[in-house]
Structures are given as structure tokens and as C-alpha cells.
A and B are shown apart, each in its own frame.
Chain A
Amino acid sequence: MFDENHKNENDVSILLLLFWSFFKISLFVIGGGLAMIPVIRNVFVHKYKLLTEDDIVDMIAVTQTIPGLIAVNSSIFVGNKLAGIKGAVVSTIAVLIPSLFILGIIAAFFPLQMLTNSHLLAAFSGIRACVAGIFLGMFIQFAQKTLKSLLDGGIVLFLIGLLLAGAHVVIIILISIILGMAILFRDQLKEGTYG
């Protein structure tokens, strides 16, 4: 099912690195799978330089198109890219373990009322605002890279319009992908390279 001849498949150090990285990401990132995306980019693109910015762009689109959990989809994408099926399994397990521990401790020991303290809620609201800021920064960076022509700008504006009009995320992704295929098809016909 996976690429069997992956070059890092039997490299134990890359598996350990994947496990440790995803364990830490899952242990510290508050806000679910979406909030993990900028951290994954930070760790694997900037810190270890194992992935490129283009890989992250692909990861965002792929993980949100495939039904399922973004945290798990992303860990599988990165794990598979770096170390085949073993990498995917190791990364997914690493994402699961912190949740089991933390929620187990909370379920066993902490009364739920504690979490409705208004000052504590405000602290978490601050964290969410910070995550929003990180995404705004990422949006600015990615926009500079992605928007290279008037066509790019027009399509992205159109998609943002759909988002603001309340269209479902999956619909927006599908429209974008169909447009991508149509434009590639047109270009190939123009160049006469099709078939």
C-alpha cells in the first residue's frame, strides 16, 4: 500500500525523531489538529529542514480533502513522506499518547467546575487569539508565495468569497481542485503537450 522502497524506511533515527516530534507537538499544542499545522511546519521545515514549504502547502490541502482528523492526517502525511508506513504508524501513535495521559488524568481527578472559572477561560481565549495571529502570519507568507498572477488572485478572492458566504470547507476545496485540473488541462492543450 505504501512506497515499499522508501530510503528512510529502516532508519531508526528518523523514526525516533518522528515519534519525539509528534509526541511533543501533541503534548503542547492547544486547539486541535488545525493549530498543529504551523508547529509541524516550524519543526519539519525550519528546524530539521526535512520538508519544504511546498510539502506543507500540499499537506494542508491533502489533509483537509481526505475525510478524517487533521492531526492524524498530517502525522500520516509527514510520517509517510519521511519514512514510509513505519513512519506513518509511529507518528500517529505519538499523536495519540499525550491525549490518553492528559484526558485520563483529568477524567480521574479533576472536577469539571474548575474549568469554568472566567479568568482561566480568558487565558484560553488569549491562546486562541495567539493561534489566530500565527495563522494570519502564515497567510501573509503563503499569499506572497502563491499569488503570482492575476488568475491566482482572482481564484483565491472567489474562494474567500465562498467561505464568507458560508460554503462548506470541503465544497471550497473541491471547487479549487477542479479549477486546478481545468487550468492545467487548458495549458497542456495550448502547449500541445497533452497525451
Chain B
Amino acid sequence: MVNLVLFWQFFKFGVLCFGGGHMIIPLLHAEFVEKTAFFTPEEFGNLLAISQMTPGAVSVNSATYVGYLKNGLSAAIFASVGVVFPTFILASVALNFFKKHKDSWYVKGFYRGAKWASLVMILYALFLFANISIFKQPIQEWFQNADFSKPLLNIGQFFVMLLSVLLYFYRVPMIAMLVLAALIGFGVSFI
């Protein structure tokens, strides 16, 4: 029964994840901290750190973790399948629709607009990662209220980013880049 309740809860979270899995975080906070107090705010902070630091999708990671704490392995499976399920149905229906109507003006127009959108989405992803590494303050906030008296950049991380761009264009394997970046980040923290 616990498992089915978890499945249903995470199914709902999955439906509400507009714009990616990290959108699950405020939903989890509302349910497990504010409503049921299953986690203290500190524990919730740890949950976030874990699901973002470990490999894999943030939403699936947090679902698995909450599931384990609630009721072991079986609950973890129920919760993570629950969070994936709505995405699976929606994506399947949408992709099939695009395929069927691929010669219509609206699907062609969609793909035309998609080219601009995906460029802006890459920039959005760039900001998302830069805001929690190289910038001391989220760049969107800084643009709305620029304050030149305080430093905006973490120099070590900024260096890692520039180095990564260079290595990217020299087609260095990504796993090597990530290991190197972790080592530099680790080393810089001792200075």
C-alpha cells in the first residue's frame, strides 16, 4: 500500500514537471517538508545535494532516494517508475503526432521555431550550470540589478569553464574533461 501511494505521488510530480526534472524540487519540498514533515529542511537540503551530485536524472534520483527511505528497494522502484511514467506516455503520444503530421504547416513551423528555441535552451542550460559554479549570484538577477562593486565570478571555476570550451573544440573525451574539472575544483578549494 505504501508503494502504491508513493507511485501515485510521484506520478503526479511527473505530470507537473514542466521544463525538466529539476522542477520536481519545489514539488517535493511542498509535499515532504511543508505538508507531511517527512524531512527536516536540513535533510531536504542533503537530499537535493545527493540527487544533483550523483549521476543520472535529478528527478529519478530523488524519487529513488525518497522511496528507499520510505520502504526499501520495492518502494524505490515504484517511486522512480511513477515519476517516469507520465513523461513516457506524453512523449510517446507527442512524438507519434509529430511523425504522422510531419508534412503539415504546423509541424514544419514547429521545427522551424524549434531551431531558435533549442539555441536559447542551450544558453539556458549554460546559465543553470554557471549559476551554481562560476557565478556568485545568478546571472539573470545580476542583469536585472547590476552591482559592479561585488565580484561576480569565482575565478577558479571560470578558468575551468574556459579550459573546458577549449578542450571541447579539441574533442577531448568528456569523461576526461569532467575528471580534470573535478580535480581542479578540488585543488583550488585549498588555496
- Name the segment of B1-9, B29-37, B157-165 touching the other chain: B157-165
- Cβ of B165: which chain A residues have Cβ within 8 Å of it? 133-134, 136-137, 140
A67 touches B118 (CB 8 A): no
Given contacts A99-B64, A126-B181, contact A177 B109 (CB under 8 A): yes
- Complex CA–CA separation, A57 to B163 (angstroms): 25
Q: Which residue of B lies closest to A169 (CB)?
A: B19
**Contacts across chains A and B counted by CB atoms under 8 Å:** 387
A57 touches B118 (CB 8 A): yes
Given contacts A26-B55, A29-B55, A132-B161, contact A112 B43 (CB under 8 A): yes
Q: List B residues at the A interface (Cβ < 8 Å).
A: 14-22, 43, 46, 49-61, 64-65, 68-69, 73, 76-77, 80-81, 83-84, 86-88, 90-96, 98-99, 105-106, 108-130, 132-134, 139-140, 143-144, 154, 156-158, 160-165, 167-169, 174-175, 177-178, 180-186, 188-190
Chain A to chain B contacts (Cβ below 8 Å), 26 pairs: A26-B55, A26-B56, A30-B52, A30-B55, A32-B57, A32-B59, A37-B122, A58-B114, A76-B87, A76-B91, A100-B64, A100-B77, A112-B46, A123-B182, A130-B161, A135-B126, A137-B168, A139-B126, A159-B116, A164-B144, A169-B19, A172-B117, A176-B117, A180-B115, A184-B112, A185-B109
